[in-house]
Amino acid sequence: MRWTEVIRIVVILVTLIATWYFAEFVFSKKWKMNNLLDIPQKKELDTHKISAGTENIKQIKRKCGNEKDCPQYYYAFKIISGAANVVGPSICFEDQILMSGVRNNIGPGINIALINAVLCSLVKDSNFNMYSGDVKPLIAFIEKLNDGTLLLIASYDDPATKLDTKAREILTSYGSRYAKTLGFRDSWVFVGGKGLKDKSPYEQYLKNEKEKNKYDGWPEVLEMEGCIPQKMS
């Protein structure tokens, strides 16, 4: 064998070994880099999932849009009084809008929804104009209720001008602290019950006072939400 052939074989072997080493080094480096790049991507994905989950938690819809959930055996409610004589009130019970301008079942005066607290169902609703109307239909509506009936009330414009002593006494017997003093254009929201022994904890009242009124001739809107036990005692 000639020396030239030996040298040629050696060169070929060296070339093959060098090529194999270069390929091994490059692909190994690339594989490691890809793995390193995958790590932050996976963390970013996990962070995105956590962020999305947190956002979903923040967007949980509670009954009536209340700030807090009600415990078991409690009913959620929200009552918003009317704004002056412009924006009507709304009454929500267990995530159902019972009375509102959209439902077209509200009006100036006193707006009332009667609830069967045992069946958690609406008995009936109505509104009574206490400025130019008659108090007798209101008395007939609230006078003879079954035990366990809840009254959810929201004022609008003027809830008191036509209220007489009898109507005020009936509302007081259902747990109201302010029915006897309710006056012209006062703001009032109230939840009471037939058979309630003590004063209701669910009542808000603002007197119509020129110096303190938020609107021209009317106090500000009242908004009350909470949880009513299924059996009020």
Per-residue pLDDT reduced to its tens digit, 115-132: 999 899 999 999 999 999
Give yes or no: residues 70 and 146 share one domain: yes
Of 169, 154, 158, the C-alpha closest to 132 is 158
**Is residue 111 domain-shared with residue 142, that is, in the same domain?**
yes
**Position 176 pLDDT exceeds 50:** yes
- Exposed, middle or buried, 79 (CB in 10 Å: 0-12/13-18/19+)? buried
Q: Which of 44, 60, 76 is the last residue of a domain?
A: 60
Q: Are residue 43 and residue 70 in the same domain, yes or no?
A: no
Please check whether residues 88 and 14 belong to one and the same domain: no
Tell me which of 42, 60, 78 is where a domain ends: 60
Task: Give the number of other Cβ atoms within 10 Å of residue 119's Cβ.
Answer: 9
Q: Could you give the C-alpha distances from 201 to 31, 36, 149, 198, 229, in angstroms and in order?
A: 69, 62, 16, 9, 12
SS3 category, 229: strand
pTM of the predicted structure, to 2 decimals: 0.74
Q: With bands split at pLDDT 50, 70 and 90, how would you rate the model's confidence at 14?
A: low
> Which pair of tokens denotes residue 188?
């009032």
CA distances from 140 to 31, 129, 166 (A): 84, 14, 11
CA 204 to chain centre: 19
CA distances from residue 87 to 92, 189, 217 in whole angstroms, order as listed? 16, 15, 14
- Considering the domain architecture, whether residues 192 and 130 belong to the same structural domain is answered as yes
Regarding whether 96 and 56 lie in a shared domain, the answer is: no
| Domain count within the chain | 2
For residues 8 and 91, state if they share a domain.
no
Instruction: Judge if 48 and 114 occupy the same domain.
Output: no
Whether 112 and 156 share a structural domain: yes
Contact 164, 135 (CB under 8 A): yes
Q: List the domain range (segments joined by +) for residue 34.
A: 1-60
pLDDT exceeds 50 at position 28: no
- Shared domain for 27 and 81, answered yes or no, is no
- Asked whether residue 21 carries a pLDDT value surpassing 90, the answer given is no
- pLDDT value of residue 149: 95
Angstrom CA distances, 46 to 34, 37, 38, 51, stand at: 18, 15, 12, 8
In a shared domain, residues 130 and 195: yes
Q: Give every strand in the sheet of 223-229, ordered side by side.
A: 96-99, 90-93, 74-80, 223-229
Residues 48, 73, single domain; the answer is: no
pLDDT at 197: 82
- pLDDT mean over 169-179: 97
Confidence of residue 16 (pLDDT cuts 50, 70, 90): low
